[in-house]
Amino acid sequence: MRTAVVQFPGTNCEHDVVEAVTALGGSAELVWHRDTDLSDFDGAILPGGFAHGDYLRTGAIARFSPVMTEVFRLADSGAPVLGICNGFQILCEAGLLPGALIANRDLAFICRLVEVEVADTDTVLTRTATVGQRIRIPLNSYEGNWVDPTRRGRVVLRYVDDPNGSQQQAAAVANDRGNVVGVMPHPERAIHDFLGSSDGNLLLEGFLHSLAPA
Amino acid sequence: MRVRIEITRRPEIADPQGTTIRRALADLGHEQVERVRVDRVIHLDIAGDDRSAIESQANEMCRQVLANPVLEDFSVEVLG
Amino acid sequence: MTQTVEPTHRQLGMTDSEFDSVVRILGREPRPAELAMYSVMWSEHCSYKSSRRHLGRFPTEAPWVVVGPGENAGVVDIGDGWLAALRIESHNHPSYVEPHQGAATGVGGILRDVFTMGARPIGLWDQIRFGPLDEPKNRYLFGGVVSGIADYGNAVGVPTVGGEIGFDPCYSGNPLVNVMCLGILKRDQLVLGTAGTPGTVAVLLGNSTGRDGIGGASVLASASFDNESREKRPSVQVGDPFEEKKLIEACLELYTKGLVVGVQDLGAAGLSCATSEPAGRAGVGMEVDLDAVHVREPEMTAPELLMSESQERMMAFVDAANVEQVLEVADKWEIDSAVIGVVRAGDTLTIRHKGEVVAEIPAASLADDAPLYDRPRARPSELDDVWATEPRLPDDLDLADAVLRLLDDPAIGSSAWVHEQYDHMLFLNTIVGPGADGSLLRVKGTNKGLAVSTDGNGRLCQLDPRRGGARLVFEAALNVAVIGAEPMALVDNLNFGNPEKPEVMWQFVESVAGISEACESLGVPVVGGNVSFYNETEGVDIYPTPVVGLLGLADPVPNEPPRIDRAEEGMEIWEIGPEPTASLAGSSAERIVLGTLTGRPTAPDPEVARQVIGLVRELAHTVPVLHDVSDGGLAVAIAEICIASEVGATIELGDPSLLFSEDPHRVVAVFEHGAVEPPGDIARRIGTVGGVALTLGDATIDIATATDAYREAIPRRMTS
């Protein structure tokens, strides 16, 4: 079971995601945004960072990268596709997730550990969690404020204390099938107690379990 | 009266955003685009009917706060 | 009125005698491009002409030093096949002209210094100082600098894991923005700034060249400021962290594949420096074709191309056989590249533009023959009076109120408003992050950790630059010791006023001596540094503000490094270190309560320093809380522990002067009764953790009130 970790120019959390997945016994490999064949992979993670410098709009340019054709195919096939932070923004721009991410309510970048509550466990990110469970993972974003005028999005994780104005206090959102999930805080940054929390492992384990045939 | 203010990056100042967008457009087949510059437009509704007073007031706002004179030029147009 | 036209060399900031030296070296009048190159390379910023003579005082050797001062960054061996590269640099003047871009390009520049060496940058530290936040202009500068650091550091993907913030009226017209970067590399990936041997090809990588910061090095960083500087400023450099991120990855791939002979970043003095320095170091000549340089603007002249400070550019020196592969790596990472020159035997740097030779000069002369000044020095005459006036707190001081006023000071209060705007977690290395005494980053795959503390204190150095300079080093050493690390190497950023004033030059030389003496006593080599002179506005100099960045090695990393939020009800509070005197000279309490700056700071004691540092480093493996006593003395150190741990404390000591004294070599330790037994000659129990208030003798401070003052110190000023 192999996970493609997609690297766009300007992505910067790709090595952390590979480390976190590997530490849990998973197999993850970097793929460059110009790659056009992900047939060897069972799922994909779009990591955080600043793809194309976040210029124009965050995710707007990355959404047209050649690799996205394969990300669409994986999503269509029901394979797990996870976007973290900037990856979440790209999935929204690509239309794989509803809504869009705009600047934080206080117009400042926020980097700190936040508490979130699991709202939905029928997704590839939360299948090993329980509804109402509270976990701590770090937020690290400027455009982390999710808005969804259609109100169609499934909220997967909610902030306990609203840090950025996100609609329904959403910290993670899924598509209808629950196989495509965008999460604003970084589970891969909470994998050791010495980093302040190891709660992110719960979410990444959910993702890895989803790679296995149902 | 409505005032339209256009704030543009001074031509000699680097514009990383424009450069990156031009590259992306070329990737999508729009190779004929030679230069991209990202500017800002601000609309103000200002009470009063003295066009020239409003224009000079808007210019003052640009110098004070709306534009960064180190990096940017601006132009003010009173739309009426 | 007749207009006299200044000769070109004076317009470029060069003196007549410097111009005569150029004529002597060349045996003829320089061409315009040549004059441009000498003017930037011989500027104060690039040549260190006023300071070089004194920088030799620093101890620079130790068995673990791999690269000392003189290269783009210092490099030390941390064992297990790993090296660490470190460097600090200032961007003071650019940050005054345009705070956001000035700070952003400062971050970009220091990163390039470190990844030029073959290292991946893993951490940034910022030392920033401004005038008081009650002035709108200072709020604008502070906010702009913080957002510039955040925008660049976050997007380029290097965590900002620590630093220090200071405020004083002396920085109102001249903020300080110093940035330090740490990188790590495998031993066999070290790259130096050498041009290699004849036949080696020079490849320019990264951004295109525009008219950014033409004359920046000489005009901005080497001259004083006045109200006209907004008019005569060169066009400001704009940072592009996205380009830099791609450049980092491309360069690291070139190093891994062994495709480069040497690398030099383009910073101050741009192409002038990136051609002449590597050629000079390698003892070779070079031919450069400026028509091959990829440009952003049309019609650039040769002097402009040679002086441009466009950001995010690197020069790689490559074997001819590897050029194709280098260009392919650049293409993969979507950065521009151009072959612009070739190394030749001899020592002549020949530069062509539009088919004509525009410069033909001895490559090494730009660096080696730079002027060297022994500027006059004079001890300030008022110093004896200043020393004789010991600051004294009023007898009727309301201690509780004074503590709250200190906690509400933006230099002492919580830095969360600043550091939560910075990504300080990327790479999963941050064991101890911003807001603590020092930062601790793990080295993956080993049991080791790299600790860094950056420290500056202009007030102490204004009163006594020698003692002040030394105390910075001892404080930094203690800050890395509280997280279990042994001091290993130091970089310094020497921010001073106008060196043409004898008093400033005296301060400079005294500070260098103080830093050197302290480093020698701890066995810590200085592996690099930066000098920033002309920090003055309207003729008023800043306080002498040397800043040190100390790297320490924790081997092994403590299982649970001490933190200030781990004090619990019933634990004992100990003070480790010498008994303080009641001296408040240069202290925060003197500044905030009295508003003065007088007296002579207590001298550091190297013997005691070594003893305390050694003891504290051992305690770091067993004790839950260790906190350096610095700004605000014991009172603030204990209040910070209480605030972070959400618990009160009772301290028997009630003498405000002893509670606020910032005498050196002291640490607060908190632990369960009997958990450790610190030696009695150097440690004493001073109180107990418990309750909901901090009691200092007869004074009582509610922790909730203290917390509010501390947390809101910066936000309440920035949102007013």
Instruction: Give residue C291's identity as a one-letter amino acid code.
Output: D
Out of B11, B13, B20, whose CB is closest to C238? B13
Out of C97, C240, C242, whose CB is closest to B14? C240
Instruction: Nearest chain C residue to A191 by CA: give it.
Output: C428
How far is CA C255 from each of CA C192, C316, C318, C327, rounded to the nearest angstrom? 11, 10, 11, 14
Q: What is the ipTM of this complex?
A: 0.96
The burial of C395, by beta-carbon neighbours within 10 Å (0-12 exposed, 13-18 middle, 19 or more buried), is given as exposed
**CA C664 to CA A90: how far, in whole Å?**
52
- The CB density around residue C603, as the number of other CB atoms within 10 Å, is 13
**CA C656 to CA C397: how far, in whole Å?**
8
Q: Catalytic: C91?
A: yes
**CA C677 to CA C683: how far, in whole Å?**
9
For helices C399-407 and C703-712, the axis angle rounded to 10 degrees is: 30
User: Is A189–C421 a contact, with Cβ atoms under 8 angstroms apart?
Assistant: no
User: Is C243–B14 a contact, with Cβ atoms under 8 angstroms apart?
Assistant: no
Q: Which residues of C touch A186 (CB under 8 A)?
A: 425
Out of C426, C431, C442, whose CB is closest to A16? C426
**CA C472 to CA C522: how far, in whole Å?**
13
Out of C421, C430, C442, whose CB is closest to A109? C421
Residue A164 C-alpha, separation from nearest chain C C-alpha, in angstroms: 13
Residue C240 C-alpha, separation from nearest chain B C-alpha, in angstroms: 6
User: Is C428–A195 a contact, with Cβ atoms under 8 angstroms apart?
Assistant: yes
Our count of domains for chain A comes to 1
Q: Are C432 and C483 a contacting pair, CB within 8 Å? A: yes
Candidates A12, A137, A191, partner chain C, best to mutate (most C CBs within 10 A): A12
Residue tagged active-site, from C9, C91, C353, C419: C91
Instruction: Inform me whether the C-beta atom of residue C718 falls under 8 Å from chain A C-beta atoms.
Output: no
Instruction: Give residue A73's identity as a one-letter amino acid code.
Output: R
Out of B12, B13, B16, whose CB is closest to C242? B16
Q: Are C133 and C712 a contacting pair, CB within 8 Å? A: no
Give the neighbours of chain A: at least 3 Cβ pairs within 8 Å: B, C
Q: Are B25 and B68 a contacting pair, CB within 8 Å? A: no
Residue tagged active-site, from A85, A92, A93, A143: A85
User: Is B24–A64 a contact, with Cβ atoms under 8 angstroms apart?
Assistant: yes
Residue A138 C-alpha, separation from nearest chain C C-alpha, in angstroms: 9
**CA A145 to CA A171: how far, in whole Å?**
9
Look at the block and give the residue holding tokens 């091959």. C292
Q: Catalytic: C45?
A: yes
pLDDT at C474: 98
Instruction: Inform me whether the C-beta atom of residue B41 falls under 8 Å from chain A C-beta atoms.
Output: no
Residue C232 C-alpha, separation from nearest chain A C-alpha, in angstroms: 31
Residue tagged active-site, from A14, A70, A186, A205: A186
Ranges of beta strands (E only) in chain B are: 2-9, 40-45, 72-78
Structure tokens at C388: 């004789």
Candidates C93, C151, C235, partner chain B, best to mutate (most B CBs within 10 A): C235
User: Is A56–B27 a contact, with Cβ atoms under 8 angstroms apart?
Assistant: no
**CA B34 to CA B15: how far, in whole Å?**
14
Candidates C151, C152, C154, C559, partner chain A, best to mutate (most A CBs within 10 A): C154
Threshold 0.90, pTM exceeds = yes
* Inter-chain CB pairs, A–B, below 8 Å: 21
Cis preceding-peptide flag for C465 (omega within 30 of 0): no
Q: Which helix (H) or strand (E) holds C474?
A: helix C465-481
pLDDT at C218: 52
Q: What is the pLDDT of residues A180-195, one digit of tens each?
A: 999 999 999 999 999 9
* Count of all residues that appear for chain A in the document: 214
User: Is B24–A53 a contact, with Cβ atoms under 8 angstroms apart?
Assistant: no
Look at the block and give the residue holding tokens 């700190």. A112
User: Is C245–A54 a contact, with Cβ atoms under 8 angstroms apart?
Assistant: no
What string of H, E and C letters represents the secondary structure of C626-675?
A: EEECCCCHHHHHHHHHHHHHCCCEEECCCCHHHHHCCCCCCEEEEECCCC
User: Is A55–B27 a contact, with Cβ atoms under 8 angstroms apart?
Assistant: no
**What is the mean pLDDT of each successive set of 10 residues along chain C, which is 720 residues long?**
75 92 96 94 93 96 96 96 97 93 96 97 98 96 97 97 97 96 96 96 96 66 47 72 97 96 92 95 97 92 93 97 98 97 97 97 94 96 96 96 98 97 98 96 97 98 98 98 98 97 98 98 97 93 98 97 96 96 96 97 98 97 97 98 98 94 98 91 96 96 98 92
Residue A52 C-alpha, separation from nearest chain B C-alpha, in angstroms: 7
Per the structure, the complete domain to which residue A64 belongs is given by 2-211
- In chain B, the domains with their CATH numbers are 2-78 (3.30.1280.10)
Q: Are C262 and C193 a contacting pair, CB within 8 Å? A: yes
Instruction: Inform me whether the C-beta atom of residue C421 falls under 8 Å from chain A C-beta atoms.
Output: yes
**DSSP conformational letter for A192:** B
Instruction: Nearest chain A residue to B25 by CA: give it.
Output: A61
**CA C267 to CA C535: how far, in whole Å?**
20
Q: Are C449 and C441 a contacting pair, CB within 8 Å? A: yes
**CA C47 to CA C526: how far, in whole Å?**
19
Q: Which residues of B touch A55 (CB under 8 A)?
A: 16-17, 20-21, 38
Residue A108 C-alpha, separation from nearest chain C C-alpha, in angstroms: 7
User: Is B14–C210 a contact, with Cβ atoms under 8 angstroms apart?
Assistant: yes
Instruction: Inform me whether the C-beta atom of residue B28 falls under 8 Å from chain A C-beta atoms.
Output: yes
Instruction: Nearest chain A residue to C239 by CA: give it.
Output: A53
pLDDT at C654: 87
Give the neighbours of chain C: at least 3 Cβ pairs within 8 Å: A, B
Q: Which residues of A touch B21 (CB under 8 A)?
A: 55-56, 61
Instruction: Nearest chain A residue to C561 by CA: give it.
Output: A194
- The CB density around residue C137, as the number of other CB atoms within 10 Å, is 11
Q: Which residues of C touch A184 (CB under 8 A)?
A: none
Out of C154, C334, C431, whose CB is closest to A9? C334
Q: What is the CA radius of gyration of chain B?
A: 16
Out of B17, B27, B28, whose CB is closest to A55? B17
**CA C427 to CA C26: how far, in whole Å?**
51
Instruction: Nearest chain C residue to B27 by CA: give it.
Output: C334
Q: What is the pLDDT of residues A86-139, one digit of tens each?
A: 999 999 999 999 999 999 999 999 999 999 999 999 999 999 999 999 999 999
Q: Flag whether pLDDT at A214 surpasses 60.
A: no
Give the neighbours of chain B: at least 3 Cβ pairs within 8 Å: A, C
**CA C125 to CA C161: how far, in whole Å?**
6
User: Is C242–A9 a contact, with Cβ atoms under 8 angstroms apart?
Assistant: yes
pLDDT at C49: 95
* Window B:26-65, CB contacts with C under 8 Å: none
pLDDT at C6: 82
Residue B70 C-alpha, separation from nearest chain C C-alpha, in angstroms: 7
Q: Residue A49: give its domain's CATH number.
A: 3.40.50.880
